[in-house]
Amino acid sequence: MKTVLTRPVAGQKAGTSGLRRQTRDFMVPGFLENYVQSILNGIGGAAGKTFVIGGDGRYFNQEAIQTILRMAAANGAEKMIVGQNGLLSTPAASHLIRLHGTDGGFILSASHNPGGIDADFGLKFNMPNGGPATEAVTDAIFAQTTNISEYYIAEAGDIDLATLGQTSLAAMQISVVDPVADYVALMQTLFDFDEIRVLFAGGFRMTFDAMHAVTGPYAKAVLEDMLGAAPGTVINGTPLPDFGGGHPDPNPIWAHELMGIMTGPGAPDFGAASDGDGDRNMIVGRGAYVTPSDSLAVIAANAHLAPAFADGVVGVARSMPTSGAVDRVAAAKGMDCFETPTGWKFFGSLLDAGKVRLCGEESAGTGADHLREKDGLWAVLIWLNIIAKTGKSVSELMTDHWAAYGRNYYTRHDYEAVESATAATLMQELEDRLPDLAGQGFAGLTVQSADVFAYDDPVDGSRTTGQGIRIRFDKDARAVLRLSGTGTKGATIRLYLERLETRGDKLHLDAQTALAEVIAATDEITGIAARTGRKGPDVRT
Ligand code: G16
């Protein structure tokens, strides 16, 4: 074992989902090591512990895993469970952590951010419950990064990650496991695979875009091999270190290949995509894109059709910027409904306490109590289960849903790579003006209330403040502003715009048109385009 003395590094603060930086930063000698040692110190050491480790296959994935294995051994870990070839989707890693009752896990991914030596890399630590590190743990890890002075690393060669089975590194056991098998077995317990098989056997066609990221092997195993979807259903199914040069973010902008298929001639019945590490999802019918907020609401309304929810859904949760569509389902069906800060970790205590069974976020994350991360393929399977049971198309499901519950028109406008100081000043100045906004009129709307969201966890009593600015207007409209916690360049300002529509003849408008008033009012209040020097948002979803 080698002890390496290191100069204290500038503190590295993890964002909404672990630490994300440019790949070359992670490759600077000592950077990864300092951060990993900070994690191990921050969780109270590794001695005698077992961890899961795997990543989304992006550039530097295997090298980083080899380093972490050597460091875990030098820090006295007892066992590491590694996905074959270093691959594990985030949901599969979460499941393995829970299945084996381990002390947590390391997931190497920058999620939906591009991969490659000139792109992004990331590392997150997940807790023994399978969920992202809590605020208390990320704070402890951050504290370590500010004063770390040495790290421990075993002097050993690389481990063969291609061969399944048991091996060891110094005194530490290593188990190289099939990354797909346990996850697929779990899915079979949740959904009616027989009904979905009948659906595909009847000629139902779908396209799943794995975006050259980690979900390819999972989607092929489940959709093509087990459920009988036609060969070729999964496109871009081989994980590549640079995701084929693409941006593995499942939204209509980045998944444009799939959108082209779904709106083109001969479009299949159903389309879906997943992101770099397989926790995000996009759902699209023939010519019918489903927003993540609507997807959560439709799932909540129809969950009882899947065996996993045959006993009902006691409660649901959504992040604050996610639309209120699911709230309306919860109110109608007598489910509890919780509004949490952005970040899957905030769902963890609610799920652990059995207060909710379904959760979702506007950022393309949907999931349930079967594990403690959002789960892209799970979302696809529950949609397939609902379609198989109802016999309805995606657009019929949406039309019926809006007729029953109203439609929460929704859009997110992103201003990307804004200079950090400009973004911080804009947010602070707006925050300072919030008390004066109530009662004022902007572009035909009147502000009813404006505040900064704070959350009191109903289970552990912890309070989280500063979670985004909320502006509530009349006419059931709302705007939310927050700074992204997952970007790797400058700051990204997110603007979330929403309005409820219940008039039957107004349920099928284009979202940007339906939201024109809210967009104009918010621009008038914030002056965001002018202040960031843009003509408009960089991305509208
Ligand atoms: C991560 C978290 C999500 C969260 C999202 C927000 O997603 O896991 O729970 O909703 O960040 O992103 P931002 O702060 O940029 O709005 P992922 O898929 O990147 O891990």
Q: Place 6 in a pLDDT band, splitting at 50, 70 and 90.
A: low
Does 9 score more than 70 pLDDT? no
Q: What is the mean pLDDT of the chain?
A: 95
For 362, residues 6+ apart whose C-beta sits below 8 A from its C-beta are: 291, 292, 293, 319, 321, 322, 323, 410, 412, 496
* Atom 9 of ligand 1, residue of closest alpha carbon: 343
What's the pLDDT score for residue 16?
A: 62
Whether residue 53 contacts residue 146, with contact meaning beta carbons closer than 8 Å, is answered with no
What's the pLDDT score for residue 194?
A: 97
What's the pLDDT score for residue 12?
A: 66
Whether residue 85 contacts residue 62, with contact meaning beta carbons closer than 8 Å, is answered with yes
- The amino acid sitting at 392 is K
For a ligand 1 pocket test, name from 16, 90, 350 the mutation site with the most ligand atoms within 8 angstroms of its C-beta: 16
- pLDDT tens profile 403-443: 999 999 999 999 999 999 999 999 999 999 999 999 999 99
Whole-prediction pTM: 0.94
Does 266 score more than 90 pLDDT? yes
- pLDDT tens profile 319-335: 999 999 999 999 999 99
- pLDDT tens profile 356-382: 999 999 999 999 999 999 999 999 999
State residue 47 phi and psi, 5-degree precision.
Answer: -55, 125
What's the pLDDT score for residue 505?
A: 94
Q: How confident is the model over 442-458, as a mean pLDDT?
A: 96
What's the pLDDT score for residue 150?
A: 93
Q: How confident is the model over 200-215, as a mean pLDDT?
A: 97
Please give the C-alpha separations between residue 91 and each of 7, 107, 108, 413, in angstroms, as whole numbers: 36, 10, 13, 28
Selecting among 111, 293, 349, 363, the annotated active-site residue is 111
- Is residue 449 annotated as part of the catalytic site, yes or no? no
* Atom 11 of ligand 1, residue of closest alpha carbon: 16
Q: Place 522 in a pLDDT band, splitting at 50, 70 and 90.
A: very high
What's the pLDDT score for residue 461?
A: 92
What's the pLDDT score for residue 541?
A: 87
48 burial (CB, 10 Å; 0-12 / 13-18 / 19+) is exposed
- The amino acid sitting at 429 is E
Stated as kind and residue range, the H or E segment containing 44 is none
For a ligand 1 pocket test, name from 344, 414, 541 the mutation site with the most ligand atoms within 8 angstroms of its C-beta: 344
